[in-house]
Amino acid sequence: MQRDLREAAKWYARAAESGYTPAQGRLAQPYESGQGVPLDYVLAYSWYARAMAGGHEASKRAMALLSQRMTLRQIQAARAALLTPGDSEGRPDGIIVEKRLLAQRCQHEQRKFVDACRDFIKANGFPLHVPSPTSTWRLMSSRLISTSERDT
């Protein structure tokens, strides 16, 4: 049986446009390699970004590798495409992608902050049952202030 890469890309596009994250990552691959569709690094980058925003980890790695082969101008065009609404060419709705990427970055930074607080607490002998980062900061600051008052 002969593989019809153009037909496969068409079906991946349908699934990807309906929001199926793995299909978004798979759709980027033919655009990256030019198999079944015209070679288009910008479009591949856009689909990888959309899949990554949906939590597809393999797309994150693939997008990083793809960006190493892209020119600065192509990367800028791909990022600009992420900020414009989708069109009939199958380009993803970039506003949604950008919001998801920002939300992921915020969640990642929040996790790093909470982990740093926990590490600090463990290292300084504070209890680990503190319910929230805000309470953690209050507890840490009150103990640090009381310690500094004793030192003076």
Query: For the chain, which residues make up each domain, given as ranges?
Result: 1-92, 95-152
- Backbone φ, ψ for residue 38 (5° rounding): -65, 145
Residue with tokens 């900061």: 137
Three-state DSSP state, 40: coil
pTM (2 d.p.): 0.55
What is the average pLDDT value for the chain, to the nearest integer?
75
C-alpha pair distances (Å), 106 with each of 71, 109, 144: 28, 5, 28
pLDDT at 88 over 70: no
Per-residue confidence band for 1, with pLDDT thresholds at 50, 70 and 90: very low
What does the pLDDT read at residue 30? 92
Q: How far apart are CA 65 and CA 59, in angstroms?
A: 10
pLDDT single digits (tens) 16-73 = 888 888 999 999 999 999 988 999 999 999 889 888 888 888 988 898 899 899 998 8
C-alpha pair distances (Å), 151 with each of 43, 100, 124, 148: 61, 47, 17, 5
Q: Which of 48-52, 82-86, 120-124 has the lowest mean pLDDT?
A: 82-86
How many degrees, rounded to 5, is the angle at CA 3 between CA 52 and CA 51? 5
